[in-house]
Chains A and B, each alone.
Chain A
């Protein structure tokens, strides 16, 4: 019987994928147990299964390198889309300074090494540029440690744009000078035009296209995810059309999509899940795949590698130390700067391979760079792990748009409120959670209600998780969920005016502290009356005492109108008559006065902040205050 069974040796795609996924599964686990960072497990695993190890996957295999390339683009996209642009803007001085230092010092040292070895000018310059770039290999670990918004991390991540772009410009210039006999000026002009087109496409066209796709292709998880993948691949393609490396395009696509993909949204959750589970680890395995210890340990290779390591890691360390002193960073933050900027992989590998193809580099140089990549990843991971453990996560006030809960009773009548919420959240890369509040007395039909809610949420371009709760009023339900979700703002759409509230309403306390919402334990609340498919003129009517200090109403108006809200003063007593369909007016006078002037549905929108005393009163009626876990439907 056994003689009839003919087994063949494993081969083909299923076998190759099995081997790769076994490395993804076991590599990090085994190495972490030995006290070694999991990233090293992926690199060593890649070597073990590769042509220079056990040869379970042969040298001619393109599947793993291609998947690795996709993983690299994915990594750069994630780095761009996760960037806190407000933070980058806040630390732009340190970002630019560190970017220049961490490029210039290794570049000069690398070029000097090349000249000292008697290399051609182009080869020496290319060596300098490939040592000057870096890849954010340790960023996932730093982020996991809760340090994504640390000033040093924001500085290092932001500087990646500068260093990799400069390095890839040098690469394009060298490649253009060698191939095709074009002058440096012609090459520089092409790269400059390419960058302009790429930035225009990534930061202006792509967000429009993606926003349109999110609204019109629906809220289906798979569709939104594929839109994001398509977006960064398209930007990478645009970059390569101009001879710019695809990773630059993927990074800019991430920046362009940054506001559309809130860090706490469902889409980001999916992007991070697939990136962390498959794409980015596969990239690391593919880097290990090309390691060849037998060549790497040759005397000539190791000698070159030693020079590259001194020039690269030495230059990166000097840049990190200088920047830390310039900007008052602690030692652990200096370690984070070094860790994030020292790891060599993507741009370095791309430049080296191109240098090899152009005949500028021998295989000894390529293998020496592979040694450098291995050592740099090891050093940056060890330093990053230590520095992350010592650094404390920043605990600053959360911006107004970080997490907004929109309470609503009728999904169809809440499009305007959701659109407003999306605009308010967008400035902070925040997320909007729509909350359907079903009155206690009403028949509960969650499927139908959620289906209708999904349509409205898609039309508003909102990415947060839809929630439902049964409560006595929309305001009350929104307050409870807002507290439970640690919201930074609660918007209540179409509330039923409460007679008591109208009659007892009093003005907000005079002399409210500046930006009080950032320090208050309870989230600020505003009611939205009216509905609109799209927003028109934005106005804000402030009380006299609010003209001196920022209020929530003014802040919301600024965000919704992108800074161009019309300010109404007390002369505009009949401000509600100015409302046309789609127009929106933010008011922060007392609730009773405001509610009395609310228009009918279809006349426009009025957003009124709610007095703190009313919030406290509503909250005090909670028994118990917690939201049941099973009240959340998705």
Chain B
């Protein structure tokens, strides 16, 4: 049998298979190249966050948010996903990281992407680098890790910051652990603690807003990143992920960083904060 004839059944089968698959593909029409988003509330993006106001990230109130990096990001996401409104609800941070979003489509709350949290949540690609940083009262020096070890520390419960503090600094005194970020900062202000650990973009925003109260002394060597958290198994992950990549490519995330965090976290101000030296 000529070679071309022996190939013919194979070729016909391959073409038939491809056409059948193409039929399946046509059945998926309308999902969009970048994924389809189905909101819980019609024509609105429902966003969960733990704290408003949160300097640099959220301004206003839950009922009437007025600005901030993550609020701006939520609005951009809504526009990108063809939704007219952004609805914000309050959910405690420890609930968020356990995958309880209170019925929201997604959470924007300075959430660092970790493997442990990924067991309860689906994450988008990251939108901001966020290494742990040491915030002190202006005038307090933190020369190296030995000096940091002897400070009195405060940190928020259930955060990657607490883990970083325990692993990288190993404080010699009892660390104060609080439920909310604002309690951590109050402890620093009133002198119960002389150092606290915050995500670098958050720390820079606080230091910019209240330079007489806070100074960013150092950052830890880390690849920590903030990401959008979605309920595990959500069908919306592809669409949100694509939208975040598009916002990055379009420069929108940089623009929001400049507007609300007063610095380009990816390149500029973050590099001016010294990395904590391991030993003196």
**A interface residue numbers (CB < 8 A to B):** 113-114, 116-120, 123-124, 127, 178-181, 299-300, 302-307, 309-310, 313, 331, 355-365, 375, 379, 382, 386, 389-390
Contacts and interface: CB of A to CB of B under 8 A. Distances in A.
B172 to A, nearest CB: 34
B33 A123 contact: yes
Contact of B29 (A118, A306, A365): A118
Given A117-B33, A361-B33, A306 B20 contact: yes
Interface stretch (B48-56, B247-255, B262-270): B247-255
14 contacts: A117-B25, A123-B32, A127-B33, A178-B246, A180-B251, A303-B25, A306-B18, A306-B24, A307-B25, A359-B249, A361-B33, A362-B239, A382-B7, A386-B3
Contacts of B186: none
Given A120-B32, A303-B25, A358-B246, 18 more contacts: A114-B33, A120-B33, A127-B33, A178-B246, A179-B249, A299-B24, A302-B21, A304-B28, A306-B18, A306-B25, A310-B22, A355-B33, A356-B245, A362-B241, A363-B238, A364-B238, A375-B18, A379-B14
Contacts of A124: 33
B35 interface: yes
B243 interface: yes
Nearest to A363: B238
Interface string B130-164: 00000000000000000000000000000000000
Contacts of B25: 113, 117, 302-307
B233 interface: no
A87 to B, nearest CB: 27
B33 A358 contact: no
B224 to A, nearest CB: 16
Contact of B246 (A303, A313, A360, A389): A360
Interface string B9-45: 0000011011111111111111111110000000000
B196 to A, nearest CB: 32
A364 B32 CA distance: 11
B175 interface: no
Nearest to A307: B25
A26 B55 CA distance: 59
Interface string B54-84: 0000000000000000000000000000000
A303 B24 contact: yes
B91 to A, nearest CB: 27
A113 B241 CA distance: 23
B21 A181 contact: no
B259 interface: no
- 5 closest Cβ pairs, A-B complex: A306-B21, A359-B246, A303-B24, A303-B25, A123-B33
Contact of B242 (A118, A127, A361, A389): A361
A179 B33 contact: no
Contact of B21 (A178, A305, A363, A386): A305
Contacts of A375: 18
Contacts of B251: 179-181
A359 B15 CA distance: 31
B244 interface: yes
A98 to B, nearest CB: 21
Given A309-B21, A359-B247, A379-B14, A365 B7 contact: no
A118 B28 CA distance: 10
Contacts of A389: 3
B174 interface: no
A151 to B, nearest CB: 20
Contact of A118 (B32, B239, B241, B250): B32
A307 B29 CA distance: 11
Contacts, number: 121
A3 to B, nearest CB: 32
A379 B11 CA distance: 9
Contacts of B245: 356-359
A362 B249 contact: no
Nearest to A308: B25
A306 B34 contact: no
A124 to B, nearest CB: 8
Contact of B18 (A180, A313, A357, A362): A313
Nearest to B10: A382
B33 to A, nearest CB: 4
- Residue of A181, A359, A386 with highest tally of chain B CB at under 10 A: A359
A127 B27 CA distance: 18
- Residue of A127, A178, A304 with highest tally of chain B CB at under 10 A: A304
A390 B3 contact: yes
B124 to A, nearest CB: 11
A156 to B, nearest CB: 19
B173 interface: no
A78 B32 CA distance: 39
Contact of A363 (B4, B241, B246, B248): B241
B242 A362 contact: yes
A357 B241 CA distance: 10
Contact of A117 (B23, B31, B249): B31
B166 to A, nearest CB: 25
Contacts of A379: 14
Given A123-B34, A361-B34, A179 B22 contact: no
A357 B247 CA distance: 10
A364 B15 CA distance: 22
- Residue of B25, B26, B32, B33 with highest tally of chain A CB at under 10 A: B33
A309 B18 contact: yes
B22 A306 contact: yes
A316 to B, nearest CB: 13
A302 B31 contact: no
A568 B232 CA distance: 87
B18 A310 contact: yes
A484 to B, nearest CB: 38
A127 B19 CA distance: 18
Given A178-B250, A306-B24, A362-B242, A300 B31 contact: yes
Contacts of B26: 116-117, 303, 307
Interface string B201-245: 000000000000000000000000000000000000011011111
Contacts of B17: 306
A360 B34 contact: yes
Contacts of B18: 306, 309-310, 313, 375
A598 B202 CA distance: 89
Contacts of B249: 178-179, 357-359
A303 B238 contact: no
Contact of A306 (B7, B23, B30): B23
A179 B245 CA distance: 11
Nearest to B35: A362
Given A180-B251, A299-B24, A307-B25, A117 B30 contact: yes
Nearest to B19: A310
B4 A331 contact: yes
- Residue of A120, A178, A360 with highest tally of chain B CB at under 10 A: A360
A390 to B, nearest CB: 7
Contacts of A310: 15, 18-19, 22
Nearest to B29: A117
A303 B28 contact: yes
- Residue of A113, A116, A181, A307 with highest tally of chain B CB at under 10 A: A307
